[in-house]
C-alpha cells in the first residue's frame, strides 16, 4: 500500500460530560433563522414550513476554551450562540420518534460569522461559505447525554461578551424543534454518528474584537467559551 504523503491536523473530539468518552466530529450542519427575533433583526422573514441549512468544515471546529486570533478578511466578526445536538445512531428519512431516538446528546456551541462577508454573499446571491465556514468558527462545549438534559424547551440560552449579556432567550423560542430539524435534515442526508447540528441563534448577535472573551451558556449544559486575540 502506498503511504500517505502527509498528515492532516487532527479534528478535535468533544468530551462527554458523563465521562463515557470523546465524541468524534464527522460533519457539521447549521440551521439558519430558527428564532423569529433573530430573523427579524437580520431583516428576514421566517420560514415556518421548513428549516434551511449551511455547513461548516469539521477542520474548522475547536473546543470550548480556545484562544484564537481575530480572523482575516472581516471587519465585523459576530458571535452566534446556539444549542447543538449530536447524532448517536444512523437515521434516514426519520419521523419525529425516530429523530428523537437518534439524538445522542446536546451541548452549547458558537457559530462565529464574518457578518460583512455573509452580507455581501446575500446581496450578490453567492454561497455563504466565506461568511460562515471560517477557520475556528465552530466552537463546541462538552456534550451532555440527551437523557440527562431532558425535554428541550424551558432552558435559558445566554451569551455574554466580557461579562455583558448580549443574547438571552429560551430554547422554546426555536421555530423548528430539535426533532423537527433531525427529521427534516434526514430527508436529505443519511445522518450518522459524528454528525453535529447547530440549531440556530436567538436575537442579539453582534461584533467581537481582539481581546474579547465570549461566554455562552445553556441551562443544564456545559458552557462554551472563546477568547479572541490579535489577528495572526
Binding site for Mn ion (CB under 5 A): 80, 111, 201
Choice between 80 and 195, CB closer to Mn ion: 80
Nearer to Mn ion, 16 or 228 (CB): 228
**15, 142 contact by CB (below 8 A):** yes
> Least distance from C-beta 110 to Mn ion, angstroms?
9
Residue 98, classed as helix, strand or coil, is: helix
Residues 6+ apart with CB under 8 A from 143: 14, 15, 16, 17, 23, 86, 104, 105, 106, 107, 222
171: which 3 cell numbers? 430554547
> Residue 137 Cβ, how far from Mn ion at the closest point, in Å?
10
Nearer to Mn ion, 80 or 142 (CB): 80
Shortest Å, Cβ 82 to Mn ion: 6
Q: How far apart are the first and last CA of the chain?
A: 39
> Residue 111 CB, nearest distance to Mn ion (Å)?
4
The residue whose Cβ lies closest to Mn ion is 111
Closest to Mn ion by CB, 98 vs 203, is 203
In sequence order, which ranges of 29-128 are alpha helices (DSSP H)? 36-41, 96-102, 115-123
Amino acid at each position: 500500500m502506498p503511504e500517505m504523503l502527509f498528515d492532516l491536523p487532527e479534528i478535535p473530539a468533544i468530551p462527554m460530560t458523563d465521562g463515557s468518552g470523546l465524541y468524534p466530529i464527522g460533519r457539521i450542519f447549521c440551521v439558519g433563522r430558527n428564532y423569529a427575533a433573530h430573523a427579524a433583526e437580520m431583516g428576514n422573514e421566517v420560514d415556518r414550513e421548513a428549516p434551511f441549512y449551511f455547513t461548516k468544515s469539521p477542520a474548522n471546529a475547536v473546543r470550548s476554551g480556545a484562544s484564537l486570533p481575530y480572523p482575516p478578511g472581516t471587519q465585523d466578526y459576530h458571535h452566534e450562540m446556539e444549542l447543538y445536538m449530536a447524532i448517536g445512531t444512523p437515521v434516514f428519512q426519520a419521523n419525529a420518534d425516530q429523530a428523537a431516538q437518534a439524538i445522542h446528546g446536546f451541548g452549547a456551541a458558537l457559530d462565529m460569522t464574518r457578518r460583512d462577508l455573509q452580507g455581501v454573499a446575500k446581496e450578490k446571491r453567492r454561497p455563504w461559505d466565506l461568511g460562515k465556514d471560517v477557520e475556528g468558527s465552530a466552537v463546541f462545549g462538552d456534550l451532555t447525554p440527551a437523557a440527562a438534559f431532558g425535554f428541550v424547551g424551558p432552558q435559558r440560552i445566554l451569551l455574554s461578551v466580557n461579562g455583558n449579556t448580549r443574547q438571552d432567550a429560551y430554547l422554546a423560542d426555536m421555530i423548528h424543534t430539535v426533532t423537527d430539524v433531525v427529521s427534516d435534515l434526514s430527508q436529505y442526508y443519511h445522518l450518522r454518528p459524528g454528525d453535529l447540528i447547530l440549531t440556530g441563534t436567538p436575537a442579539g448577535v453582534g461584533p467581537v474584537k481582539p481581546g474579547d472573551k465570549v461566554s455562552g451558556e445553556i441551562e443544564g449544559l456545559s458552557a462554551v467559551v472563546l477568547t479572541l486575540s490579535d489577528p495572526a
